[in-house]
Amino acid sequence: MGAAPLRPGSRPAYPVASIVTAHLDGSPTLEQAGQSLRDGIAETAIVWRQGYRPRVAACSAAEAAMLVQLLAGFKLLSALENAQGLNFSEWLPRAVQTGMVIGAA
């Protein structure tokens, strides 16, 4: 039997973003990602497309909380209130620049 699929907001017990980005662009290095794995460091990852290119990055618990709520249909203000510790004014420009956010309604 295979592993259960992860859903938005799931937190695997592995440094998933570091492992993937180490293979894709070398940052962190494979050695660093391996050390994080041996140390039992868990990461929450966000996956999106920039154009047709898949992207992955580690994200904070606050960022994950906000995104899960937005995907569930919460209004932005409500999602931000529940994302304690997220600096939205820093997050938004980076999210737009990387193509994570492509519009708003």
Residue from 48, 87, 50, 93 nearest 66 by CA = 87
How confident is residue 75, by pLDDT bands cut at 50, 70 and 90?
A: very high
Residue (of 22, 15, 10, 12) closest to 39 by Cα position:
15
pLDDT of residue 8: 57
Are β-strands 53-59 and 44-50 bridged in parallel, bridged antiparallel, or unpaired? antiparallel
Vertex 67 angle, CA 60 and 63, to 5°: 20
Long-range contacts, 76-85 (Cβ 8 Å, 24+): 76/104, 85/60, 85/61
87 pLDDT more than 90: yes
Residue 77's pLDDT is 92
Confidence of residue 82 (pLDDT cuts 50, 70, 90): confident
- The pLDDT confidence band at residue 105, using thresholds 50, 70 and 90, is confident
